[in-house]
Chains A and B, each alone.
Chain A
Amino acid sequence: MDRKRSYYEDVALFDSKAKLFWFFVLMAFLVAYPHIVPSNSYIYMANLMAINIIVVLGLNLLVGFTGQISLGHAGFFCVGAYATITLMIHAGLPFIVALPAAALISALLGFLLGLPALRLEGPYLSIATLGFGISITKVIGKMQFFGGRQGLHAPELTIGSWNLDTDLDFYYLAVGLTVLLTIAARNIVKTRVGRAFIAIREDDIAAQTTGVNLTYYKTLAFALSAFYTGLAGGLFAFVLRFIEPEMFTLLMSILFLAMVVVGGLGSIMGSITGAVLITWLDLQLRHILTIPYIGDWLRTLSQSWFSITGVSNIQYIVLGTIVVLIMVFEPLGLYGLWIRAKKYWKTWPF
C-alpha cells in the first residue's frame, strides 16, 4: 500500500500529508481533552495512561523490536520514581534535572541487566529480569535512606515558575513528554538502531554476520527501555505524590507486558493503544457489576463459583478473558486489528 521510492521517504516521520493532518488533529484533541471531559478524574486517568504509554513504548522497544523479554520493568519504574524524589529532596535538584537524571540511573541499571542478557534467552532471561524486578523493591524497602517501608512523600513540583499542583498542569507535562517520547521512539525504530534491533529479534547470529554489534545493541535496547520506564516512574511519583516499595509489584510488570502484547508487539501505535486499553480496563472494570443485566448475571456467577463474599474477583476474570480473546482472534494485537481495518477500507465497497 505504501510504496517507497527512496530511503529518505522510508525514514520520514510522516509519509503522507494525510498523516500529518491527522497528527495535528490528534494534538488539538490532546490539548482540548482536559477541557471537554466532565470531571477531573478523567484527567487523572489520562495521566496514568500517558505514563503507561511511556513505559510500554520502552518495553516494546525491548520485547517487540529486539525480542528480549523482561518481567522486571516494575523495578525500573520503581528506580525512576525513587531516584527522582531522592535527587530532589537530598541533592536539591530541580525536577527538570532530577527527572532525566533518574531516567539515566534507570538506564544504567538497564545496561547492567543487559549484560547477562547477552548470554540468556527466552525463559532464562525472563527469570533473570524477574529476579531484578522483585529484589530491587526489597533492597529499597530495607534502606532507611529511601524511607524504608514507610515510603516517601514527593516534594512540590515546579518547573521554573510553573507550579504544577493540579492534575491539569500535570496532564500537559505528562502528555507533552509522551508525545516527544513517541516521536523519539518512532525515529529510533525507523533508523539504523531500530533496524539493528529488528535484525537481532529475527535472528541474532544472522544479524551479527551482517555486522550488527550484538553486545552494543542488546545492552542499548535494555538501557533505552529502562530509560523510558525510569522516566515514566519519575512522573508516576508525582501522580500520587507518595511512593512505597510494595506498590511496584510483579503484577505491575506483568500488566506492562500485557499492554505490549495486547497492543501489538513491535508497533508504536500498538504500544499506545495497548497502554490506553489496559489502563482503562484496570481502572474501570470495577464498575462491571453496575451494568444492567450483565452485572447481575456476573454477580450470580461470581457468588456461585468464584468468590465467597459475592464481591467481585470477577473483574480480573473479565480482564483476563478480554486479553485472551484479543490474542485468539488477533495475534498481532490491536495493531493487527488496525491493519485489517485499513486493508478492508482500502478496497471498500468490494
Chain B
Amino acid sequence: MKIRSVLAIMAALVLCVFSAGTALAQNGVTDTEIHIGQWGPQTGPAAPWGAVARGTGVLFDMVNAQGGIHGRKIVYHMFDDGYNPAKTMAGVKELQESSTGIFAWASGVGTAPGLAVKEYLASRQVPWVGPASGSPHWSEPPQRNLFGVYPLYFLEAKTLTRYAVERMGKKRVAIMYQNDDYGKNGVDGAREELASHGLELVEAVPVELTDTDLRSHLLRLRRANADCVLLWLSPTHAVMSVGTAKAMNFTPQFMSTSTCSDFPLMIHISKGLWEGVITASFGELPTSGSPLMLEYRKAFDQFAAREERWGVFFTAGMGFVEPMVQALRNAGRDLTRERFIEEMEKIQNFQGILGNISFKPFDANDPSSRQGQYEVFLIECLANGDARRLTGWIDAR
C-alpha cells in the first residue's frame, strides 16, 4: 500500500515536471498597457531618496492622463527595496518574471542595488533608463540595454573645481570625501581638473560612513590652509563638516555635489549654515519657472500624495525618465524592446528638465554611446533655502 502511494505521488510529480516549464516570460507590452518597473528605498536610512521613484510615478500619471502613448497606458510598478541589494534582486525578478513581465526599468536609486541587478537585466536585454546615481559603472563599459542619464560625479567635481580656480581665484583646493566609489570619483575629478591648471589638491581627507566626529578631519584641512573645500559626502556628513568648521572659525568656500543640492532640506538640517555653499545641479530647480516645470508642478498637485514635498529628488525622478517617454512615443504603435532601444539611440539634443541628452548607436568602446547627459550647472544656497544660479549649463569633459 505504502509503496503504491509513493509511486502514485512520484508519477504525479513527474507529470507536473513535464507540463510546467513551458510558460514563456512576457515582454511587458499588451494592446492597452506598457509595464514599467522601478525600485526605490521607501524605508530605512536611504528613504529620503525614495522620492525619485515617486516622482517617476507622477510623471507617468501625467502621461496617462494626457491619453497615454499610442493608445497604451503606462502601468507603473514601484517597489520598496530598502536599499538592500538582495531585496532589489528579489523584486526585480518577481516583476520581470510575472505573467505580463516588465517592458523596461526606470531609474532606480543607488549604486549597490543597481549593480546587483545590472547583469540580470543585461542577460535578458531588458532596457533600463536613467539609474539614479552618478557612478561610472553604468556606462563603463557600455551595455546595450542600459542608458545613463545622471551626469557622472567625476564631472561634477571637475566643474566645481574649474569654477573655483577660474572664477573665484582659489589656489588651495582640498576635498573631504566619503571613502567609497562615490567619494573617489570626486577626488579623481578634482585632481584631473587641478592638474590642467598646474595645481594639486592641498589635502584629501577620507571620511568613513560611521564617523561621528569630524574635528580631526577639518583640522587637517585648516593646517593645509585650504581656501576651497569640496564635500563629497552624504548630506548628514556634509552638514556636520560645515558646522564643525564654523565652530573652529575655519571659513573656506565649501562646495558639494548634486546629492547635497536639496537646499530647503540642507538649510533645515544645518540650521542655516548651508548658506553660501555652492553645489552642482543636473536639472532645472523645482522652483524654476520654466513652462515644463510648471506643467510638472500641476501634475504634482493633481497626482502626488498629500504630504509629498516638491523637492529636487522628486523632480529628478521625473527628469530621469523623460527620454524614456520620448523614445516610447517615437517607437510608435509596434512597440518591441528592440525598437525601443533603437529609438533611445536616436535621441539627440533632447531637452527636458535635465541637461542636454544625446545617445548614439551602440559602440562597446565608446561610453558616450550610453551615457546621455554630461552637463551640470552651479548654484549657490541662499539663507532662505532658495538657490541662486551661478552659471549656465557646463559640459566639463
Contact = CB atoms under 8 A, between A and B. Distances in A.
Given A41-B93, A309-B42, A310-B307, A247 B112 contact: yes
B91 A24 contact: no
A32 B13 contact: yes
A149 to B, nearest CB: 3
Contacts of B43: 312-313, 315-316
Contacts of B85: 240, 242, 244, 247
Interface string A31-48: 110011111110011001
B84 A28 contact: no
A240 B23 contact: no
Contacts, number: 116
B180 A310 contact: no
Interface string A304-321: 000011111101100000
B34 to A, nearest CB: 20
B308 A309 contact: yes
* Interface range on chain A (Cβ under 8 Å from partner): 35 or more
Interface in B71-97: 79-80, 84-87, 89-91, 93-94, 96-97
A138 B97 contact: no
A21 interface: yes
Contacts of A41: 90, 93-94, 96-98
Nearest to B180: A149
Contacts of A38: 23, 99
A239 interface: yes
Interface string A231-273: 0000010011110101100000000000000000000000000
B119 interface: yes
A215 interface: no
Nearest to A138: B210
B301 interface: no
Nearest to A154: B119
B50 A247 contact: no
B10 interface: yes
A28 B9 CA distance: 8
Contact of B307 (A138, A236, A241, A308): A308
Contacts of A17: 2
B179 interface: yes
**B interface secondary structure, majority:** helix
Interface in A79-96: none
Contact of A44 (B2, B25, B90, B305): B90
Interface stretch (B14-22, B337-345, B353-361): B14-22
B172 interface: no
A338 interface: no
**A interface secondary structure, majority:** helix
A141 B211 CA distance: 14
Contacts of B307: 303, 308-310
A48 B87 CA distance: 10
A40 B92 CA distance: 11
Contacts of B17: 32, 35-36
B179 A310 contact: no
Nearest to A311: B42
A236 to B, nearest CB: 8
A58 to B, nearest CB: 19
Contacts of B89: 44, 239-240
Nearest to B308: A309
B208 interface: yes
Given A21-B2, A242-B85, A310-B306, A29 B13 contact: yes
B219 interface: no
Contacts of A32: 13-14, 16-17
Nearest to A44: B93
A151 B13 CA distance: 41
A244 B13 contact: no
Nearest to A25: B9
A311 B306 contact: no
A39 B21 CA distance: 9
Given A35-B21, A309-B51, 17 more contacts: A24-B6, A28-B13, A31-B13, A36-B20, A41-B90, A44-B89, A44-B94, A142-B179, A151-B112, A242-B115, A247-B86, A247-B112, A286-B91, A308-B307, A309-B50, A311-B305, A316-B43
23 contacts: A24-B6, A28-B10, A29-B13, A32-B13, A36-B20, A38-B23, A38-B99, A39-B23, A39-B97, A40-B25, A40-B93, A41-B98, A44-B89, A44-B90, A45-B94, A149-B179, A246-B112, A247-B112, A309-B51, A309-B54, A311-B42, A311-B50, A315-B80
Closest A-B pairs by Cβ, 5 of them: A149-B180, A41-B94, A39-B97, A41-B93, A32-B13
